[in-house]
Amino acid sequence: MRKMDDPVAKAALLSGIDIFSSLDQAELLLLGEKMRQRSFRPGEAMFREGESGDELFVVASGLVSVSILSQDSEVIELSRVGTGAFFGEMAMLEKAPRSATCTAIEPTRCLTLLAADFESLIVEAPGVAMRVLDRMLGIAAGRLVKTGSFLSQMVQWGDTARRRAITDAATGLFNRRYLEDSFGSILARAEREGTALSYAMFDLDRFGKLNAAYGAEFCDSLIVIASGAFRRVFAEEDILVRYGGDEFCFLIPASPPEALRRCEAVCAELRSLAFEEHPELRISCSIGLAHYPSLASGLDELKERADRALYLAKEAGRDRAMVWSPT
């Protein structure tokens, strides 16, 4: 039997766990590199209710009791979980106090993931992190529904953790906080690896007038529809961010011509949309791009030049993608 510190053995274990079921072998190996092994004796507490922590636990083998204390300090066992179960996700994402006590019933081995290691995964492989987070949220919500004592925590999952972690609640895309926290690291990685990175800024054309003509509720739906178009056009490795309102940003780790092609495809995709409730309506967008390292030498320059290119796209008549150039 292979040891749990063997990356292939870790990947094999993770492949059978629901929250990691959407990952391929290479992605499982990457995740396994960030996870650590911990062992617990029967009766040993992994953590206690109310303690601080920043670690997710995945049971590799064994059996764990999940319990809480009543107001009279009586131990109430909520459930027992075995191989493939996970817990501690709120602590990892939110650094929230532990909501229950988890105790090994029999010799138990776990793989654990620290918050800092999950944050590095977000930077290195955002698509992987997003898929893990989505599965985690869905499974945790179902688990919390079944556990009435945790109903208030379920509300926190839906209303706070997703937003604060990395995503925009309305579109499911990355949020502004993610961009601000990770942009520098993503650019540094491109520099370290000698790869190209394009930064694109996006606006829906005349969105203020659309709001006035069609109402805020319908225009909110346009934002969601636009985000669906982004997913259809962009590649999985592209980082799609809702910055706020109708403003979006895209980080595209591709050659400058390919980055421009994808942005032009987004323009075409939005241009082709039809709306049953408003058959007269057609929408368009303006996109400004800057390329690193060919047309920008650092983070601030990349942002400023993409913003300038967006302005030029609007000045040129909107409904187009334009690349900043020095001429």
Per-residue confidence (pLDDT) for residue 215, from 0 to 100: 94
- Picking from 32-41, 57-66, 161-170, 196-205, which range would have the lowest pLDDT averaged per residue? 161-170
Compute the mean pLDDT over every residue in the chain, rounded to the nearest whole number: 85
Verify that 142 and 191 share a domain, yes or no.
Answer: no
Per-residue confidence (pLDDT) for residue 140, from 0 to 100: 63
Q: pLDDT category, 248, cuts 50, 70, 90?
A: very high
Verify that 107 and 49 share a domain, yes or no.
Answer: yes
Q: In the block, which residue shows the tokens 């953590």?
A: 47
Per-residue pLDDT averaged across 82-111, rounded?
85
| More confident: 88 or 269 | 269
Per-residue confidence (pLDDT) for residue 167, from 0 to 100: 81
- The residues with which 1 forms a beta bridge, in sequence order, are none
Verify that 196 and 82 share a domain, yes or no.
Answer: no
Verify that 77 and 207 share a domain, yes or no.
Answer: no
Per-residue confidence (pLDDT) for residue 129, from 0 to 100: 85
CATH number for the domain harbouring residue 230: 3.30.70.270
Number of structural domains found in the chain: 2
Per-residue confidence (pLDDT) for residue 4, from 0 to 100: 56
Q: pLDDT category, 204, cuts 50, 70, 90?
A: very high
Half-sphere exposure of 227 (CA within 13 A, CB side): 24
Per-residue confidence (pLDDT) for residue 164, from 0 to 100: 53
* Residues 127 and 236: beta-carbon distance below 8 Å: yes
- Looking only at the bridges linking them, the beta strands covering 101-104 and 45-47 are antiparallel
Per-residue confidence (pLDDT) for residue 57, from 0 to 100: 92
Per-residue confidence (pLDDT) for residue 97, from 0 to 100: 83
Nearest to 81 by CA among 98, 64, 93: 64
Verify that 159 and 181 share a domain, yes or no.
Answer: no
Which three-class secondary structure string do you get for the chain?
A: CCCCCCHHHHHHHHHCCHHHCCCCHHHHHHHHHHCEEEEECCCCEEECCCCCCCEEEEEEECCEEEEEECCCCCEEEEEEECCCCEECHHHHHHCCCCCCEEEECCCEEEEEEEHHHHHHHHHHCHHHHHHHHHHHHHHHHHHHHHCHHHHHHHHHHHHHHHHHHCECCCCCCECHHHHHHHHHHHHHHHHHHCCCEEEEEEEECCHHHHHHHHCHHHHHHHHHHHHHHHHHHCCCCCEEEEEECCEEEEEECCCHHHHHHHHHHHHHHHHCCCCCCCCCCCCCEEEEEEEECCCCCCHHHHHHHHHHHHHHHHHCCCCEEEECCCC
Verify that 161 and 219 share a domain, yes or no.
Answer: no
How long is the chain? 327
CATH number for the domain harbouring residue 97: 2.60.120.10
Does residue 85 carry a pLDDT above 90?
A: no
pTM above 0.85, yes or no: no
How do residues 268-307 score in pLDDT, each as one tens digit?
Answer: 999 999 999 999 999 999 999 999 999 898 899 999 999 9
Q: pLDDT category, 246, cuts 50, 70, 90?
A: very high
Where does a domain end: 165, 190, 206?
165
Buried/exposed 108-126: b ≥16 CB within 10 Å, e otherwise = bbbbbbbbebbbebbbebb
Verify that 200 and 97 share a domain, yes or no.
Answer: no
Verify that 97 and 68 share a domain, yes or no.
Answer: yes
Where does a domain end: 125, 143, 165?
165
How do residues 12-41 score in pLDDT, each as one tens digit?
Answer: 888 888 888 888 899 999 998 999 999 999
Verify that 13 and 140 share a domain, yes or no.
Answer: yes
Per-residue confidence (pLDDT) for residue 302, from 0 to 100: 95
How do residues 120-178 score in pLDDT, each as one tens digit?
Answer: 888 888 888 888 887 777 666 555 444 443 434 433 444 444 445 578 888 888 888 88
Does residue 323 carry a pLDDT above 50?
A: yes
Verify that 151 and 276 share a domain, yes or no.
Answer: no
> Which backbone phi and psi does 273 adopt, to 5 degrees?
-70, 145
Range of the domain at 180: 176-323
Nearest to 307 by CA among 291, 320, 288: 288
Do the domain assignments include residue 57?
yes
